[in-house]
Amino acid sequence: MDKKITPESRRSFIKNLGFAGAAFSIVPRHVLGKGFTAPSDTLYIAGIGAGGKGTSDLASFAQSPNVKIAYLCDVDARNTKQSVENFPDAPMYKDYRKMLEENKDSIDAVSVSTPDHMHAVQAMAAMELGKHVYVQKPLTHDIAEARQLTEAAQKYKVVTQMGNQGASGDGVRKMKEYYDAGLIGEVHTVKCWTNRAIWPMALETPTKKDKIPDGLDWDLWLGTAEKRDYNDAYLPFDWRGWSDFGTGALGDMACHIMDPVYRILPILYPNQVECSVADAFKANFETVSYPKSFPTASKIHLNYPRTDGIGNIKVTWMDGGLKPERPEELGDDEAFGNWDGGVLFIGTKGKLLADCYGANPRLLPLSLNEQIAVKETIARVPEGHYLQWVNACIAGFGNAETSSSFDYAGPFTESLLIGNLALKAYFEVDPAAKNQGFWGGTKYHGRKRLQWDAANMKVTNFEEANKYVKREYRTGW
């Protein structure tokens, strides 16, 4: 597949539009001129996923007086009580396909707040009907799905936004102002970390068949995933740790923590990835792998060629409680990120530290922040991430921009999921080393640096890893 997003187009988008975050205001008809047909004053939103994160997503959209939550859809009635109370006039569906088909003429936009493995098919179904879409992070479960949604957003000319709220925050904009002012020089190394996972990981795939809870349509919940018996280990929240459904700690948090990295620095796709993971213990000198469950902790190294052709930027991701070495410029009692994690830019002239979401950016040592003032050059997003998308939908495609449009969020998500590809392939057998014994490399075991061809979405030096670029959907999906 040819790459449609070029470094130049993406950097131009971020510089001119994504960071501007300019708020679109609903302008009175008389201001727009005689004969101009104003957009509808009301945006009719259908929510796919009305419980869990969907509850707060829909409530956030509804803060706009120009929004009506018109339809609700969820496969698990146990979690939808609050949304039903919030929007009593909105009919409730179980199958999003039925909801879209029956109401396609009365829906303007769709919010997708479901488990990761369903994001792509649900967003695509909405876009094919010409509906604007807001999709929770990560944008997709698979690398190939992210490329497909990026292209579909342009094809169907719909307004899009990924749900990484920090993309519209002041923190990432302030970080870019520090960077543009040259305060830390050219960044060559970045460290990112999170306290996640805060759900079970490194588990053997369940074989026990539990009773399906009342109110849950298990077959619809499985959706694109392969058929299996219901087990309490998957729901309501722990699906994040199972690779058939979730995307682990990286998928959950990197869209928040690594957004400043991808948004600010001159990078597009990594060309190399390697990883190491925490072993699961079985017996003395023996560990075991659980291919359907993510590891309890991992470290992922991504090499990004700079889009200006001047060298590379090394980015390291750590999860499961792993953290980088504390910078010498940071005091022993000074906060190194926050509870959720953090990001550290290391440049030729200095270092820049921020919390999750790019919040609370500060130069190191902290005393510099009292001595240096940087002019605000990048417009903020006063209405916030949710209403920015609402206002852009009302304005119409091409008339207002969002901070995490799929032009940006698609390549960003691809970039992150390459790390998960490495994790999933970690214990794959390397045919070239089959007869060398375990210690000689019978298994891939993460020791090889994977070479990534981004244009064709392909690992070029370890074919076994490529099955993780795009999974097979269950028949009928």
CB atoms within 10 A of CB 408: 27
CA dihedral 237, 241, 242, 248 (to 10 degrees): 120
The angle at the Cα of 39, spanning 37 to 41, to the nearest 5 degrees, equals 125
d(CA 376, CA 366): 20
Those residues with Cβ within 8 angstroms of residue 138's Cβ, 6 or more apart along the chain or in another chain: 116, 119, 162, 247, 251, 252, 254, 255, 413, 416, 417
* pLDDT (tens place) for every residue of the chain, 477 residues total: 333 444 444 444 344 434 544 333 333 333 333 333 344 589 999 999 999 999 999 999 999 999 999 999 999 999 999 999 999 999 999 999 999 999 999 999 999 999 999 999 999 999 999 999 999 999 999 999 999 999 999 999 999 999 999 999 999 999 999 999 999 999 999 999 999 999 999 999 999 999 999 999 999 999 999 999 999 999 999 999 999 999 999 999 999 999 999 999 999 999 999 999 998 887 887 778 888 999 999 999 999 999 999 999 999 999 999 999 999 999 999 999 999 999 999 999 999 999 999 999 999 999 999 999 999 999 999 999 999 999 999 999 999 999 999 999 999 999 999 999 999 999 887 666 555 544 444 466 777 899 999 999 999 999 999 999 999 999 999
- Residue environment code for 100-124, b if the CB has 16+ CB neighbours within 10 A, otherwise e: beebeeebbbbbbbbbbbbbbbbbb
CB atoms within 10 A of CB 29: 10
In the DSSP assignment, the letter for residue 409 is H
Which strand (E) or helix (H) includes residue 312? strand 312-318
What global pTM score does this model have?
Answer: 0.91
d(CA 383, CA 406): 20
